[in-house]
Amino acid sequence: MTQAAPDSLPSTLIVLAGASGDLGGRIAHELLKRKVRVRALLRPGSAQARQVTLQAAGAEVCEVDYNQPAELTQACQGADCVISALSGLHDVMVHTQHQLLEAALKANVPRFMPSDFCIDYTKLEPGHNRNLDLRREFQQILDAVPIQAVSVLNGMFTDLLTGQAPVILFPIQRILYWGDADQPLDFTTIQNTAEAAVAAALDSNPPRFVRIAGETLSIHQLQSVASEATGKAFGLLRAGSLQTLNRLIQLTQKLSPDKGEIFPPWQGMMYLRDMLSGEAKLSSIDNKRYSEIRWIPVWEVLTESLSKQN
């Protein structure tokens, strides 16, 4: 595989699982922008509109039943790398990704990128964070087989700060947090994560873990950025210590029975806790490795979101 170089890799083929998803769709478009061939795997029943969009952009769309190993192996034939942007719980993140890995191995694909795209789960103890445990379980499977593995770790999607993650509370102009307001936190947009995934997949010699952050800001710094982006003075809302947050997580888990959701409220709280504690903080950030990427700051994401609302 050659170093990422736009317009010079017409024969490189990437097989992409989860191409109908948010991150997967962006990865597909980024690959196509770099003139890389994309074979997008879609499961039967996946939204027709996504299929049309991918085909119109130039991807080869391959409908595949992940439970049919021969079919899946055929779909992986000729690939330089399999990228997974799947999202789910154990059945997807461990079982389906394992099926995909087996197919990649049978098809002699040299490289596999799992659907990690998160904070640094390698630093966390097992049993600490449900969704990140699934990534660790699959990591162990992946690292035990003869294929080059490369994962992208990106912190939290910056896009979540515009409303989905209850950190910047726009209606009351507060930044909600637990613990230490000076703890650095890693944020990367979904778009930058897709660009980094593509750069790492095409990299001639990527590290096992590519750690990227569009911007690293503390709660205090987020306060300034939110104030600047909105033109309104934001304050801080410290809801307690990290122990308080832990107790809240346990209580929320007890009160909301597991309905098989990928992101129940307590999962988001676990994610935030592992950022606020610094335990899953990315160390040695690799942004400079991919100088072609323009890293999008939090300020820009907030400003764009606010201008769309007005």
Ligand X SMILES: NC(=O)c1ccc[n+]([C@@H]2O[C@H](COP(=O)([O-])OP(=O)(O)OC[C@H]3O[C@@H](n4cnc5c(N)ncnc54)[C@H](OP(=O)(O)O)[C@@H]3O)[C@@H](O)[C@H]2O)c1
User: Which residue lies nearer to ligand X by CB, 109 or 160?
Assistant: 160
CB of 159 vs ligand X, minimal distance in Å: 8
CB of 232 vs ligand X, minimal distance in Å: 26
Q: Is 22 in the site for ligand X (CB under 6 A)?
A: yes
Token pair listed for 170: 């726009």
Tell me if residue 209 falls in helix, strand or coil. strand
The footprint of ligand X on residues 106-165 (CB under 6 A) is 115, 117-118, 154, 156-157, 160
Choices 19-27, 101-109, 195-203, 204-212 (CB under 6 A): range interacting with ligand X: 19-27
CA 205, CA 135: separation in Å to the nearest integer? 22
Q: Is 88 in the site for ligand X (CB under 6 A)?
A: yes
Instruction: Rule CB under 6 A: choose which of 76, 92, 167, 202 binds ligand X.
Output: 92
The footprint of ligand X on residues 243-302 (CB under 6 A) is none
Q: Is 23 in the site for ligand X (CB under 6 A)?
A: yes
Tell me if residue 156 falls in helix, strand or coil. strand
Contact between 43 and 112 under an 8 Å Cβ cutoff? The reply is: no
> How big is the site for ligand X, counted in residues (CB under 6 A)?
23
> Which residue is it, tokens 């590519």?
210
The angle at the Cα of 10, spanning 111 to 145, to the nearest 5 degrees, equals 5
Question: What residue spans of the chain are helical by DSSP H?
Answer: 22-33, 48-57, 69-76, 97-106, 130-142, 190-202, 219-230, 242-255, 265-276, 298-309
* One-letter identity of residue 200: A
The angle at the Cα of 165, spanning 23 to 26, to the nearest 5 degrees, equals 10
Token pair listed for 31: 């690959």
CB of 4 vs ligand X, minimal distance in Å: 21
CB of 273 vs ligand X, minimal distance in Å: 14
> Pick from 86, 62, 51, 47: which is nearest to 13 by CA?
62
Instruction: Rule CB under 6 A: choose which of 35, 43, 136, 220 binds ligand X.
Output: 43
Instruction: Rule CB under 6 A: choose which of 4, 9, 15, 20 binds ligand X.
Output: 20
User: Which residue lies nearer to ligand X by CB, 117 or 209?
Assistant: 117
CB of 248 vs ligand X, minimal distance in Å: 20
> Which residue is it, tokens 């515009």?
162
Choices 39-47, 141-149, 222-230, 239-247 (CB under 6 A): range interacting with ligand X: 39-47
Instruction: Rule CB under 6 A: choose which of 13, 16, 24, 210 binds ligand X.
Output: 24
CB of 217 vs ligand X, minimal distance in Å: 15
Q: Is 28 in the site for ligand X (CB under 6 A)?
A: no
CA 230, CA 169: separation in Å to the nearest integer? 12
Torsion sign over Cα 123, 127, 128, 132 = positive
Binding residues (CB under 6 A) for ligand X: these are 18, 20-24, 43, 46-47, 66, 85-88, 92, 96, 115, 117-118, 154, 156-157, 160
